[in-house]
Amino acid sequence: MLYFRTQPDAVFIAFVKQALHCELQAVRRLASENDGDAWFVEYPVVGALFTPYSALITFEELLVAHKASTVYRLTDYHWLLVYECLKNYCLWHNEQVDHGSVSFTMLGGYRFGLVDLETMTDRFFWDHEFMELLYADADEPDSCPCGGNADMHDIDLSYGLRPHPDKLRLTPVEEAAWRIPEPQECGQWRLP
């Protein structure tokens, strides 16, 4: 299981699993076409940091880790991929529900109507530092929009560098410290 800020429930686990699976298939298709231009068109942010092959391998590892009983800590590179994956799947999913002939879809035995990506990331992501680092000016250390709170081990995102294999290592979490949602956050709400 991926180490999210809030412990994922069965509904969120099913949604992330489907999103990772769909994204893996899309990346696999682009990688097999061996078209670098199409890669950068489809994935402008991810394409700057990952080759199609390295993204494919990383998505496969994320999917395996997501299905595992062990909880794994992600790096900022992983968070970027998970975010892009969820963003793309939410766009596709919401278009199916909003413009399709159905008012919901079924995933893992759960009904999904429209999905709010912003609420989902606010609830389950630790922070959005991985996005801020993408837009930092590597030549101006004081201009980092993360306010100097960045993990210096992941600062190479701001340089647009491809990840070193050590930066793509999923590390097991010994004792997960999940955030407990406030009572007003529980109950009926749009997924999240």
| Phi, psi (degrees; rounded to nearest 5) at 128 | -120, 25
Give the integer Cα–Cα distance in Å for 94 and 36: 28
Using alpha carbons, select from 5, 13, 133 the residue that is nearest to residue 66: 13
Query: What's the distance, CA 136 to chain centroid?
Result: 20
Give the model's pLDDT for residue 159: 58
Give the model's pLDDT for residue 191: 47
Instruction: Express each pLDDT in 112-148 by its tens digit.
Output: 888 899 989 988 999 888 877 566 544 454 444 444 4
Listed in sequence order, the residues at least 6 apart from 123 whose beta carbon sits closer than 8 Å to its beta carbon are: 5, 6, 181, 185, 192
Tell me the three-class secondary structure of 54-105, residue by residue.
Answer: HHHHHHHHHHHHHHCCCCEECCHHHHHHHHHHHHHHHHHHHHHHHHCCCCCE
Give the model's pLDDT for residue 13: 93
Give the model's pLDDT for residue 160: 60
Residues of the chain with pLDDT under 70: 133-161, 183-192
- Whole-angstrom distance between the N-terminal and C-terminal Cα of the chain? 17
Amino acid identity, position 18: Q
Give the model's pLDDT for residue 192: 45
Amino acid identity, position 65: A
For residue 28, give the 3-state DSSP assignment: helix
191 within 8 A of 111, measured Cβ to Cβ: no
- Write down the pTM of the prediction: 0.81
Listed in sequence order, the residues at least 6 apart from 89 whose beta carbon sits closer than 8 Å to its beta carbon are: 15, 18, 19, 22, 23
Give the integer Cα–Cα distance in Å for 14 and 98: 20
Give the integer Cα–Cα distance in Å for 124 and 65: 16
Give the model's pLDDT for residue 144: 45
Domain boundaries defined on the chain: 10-174
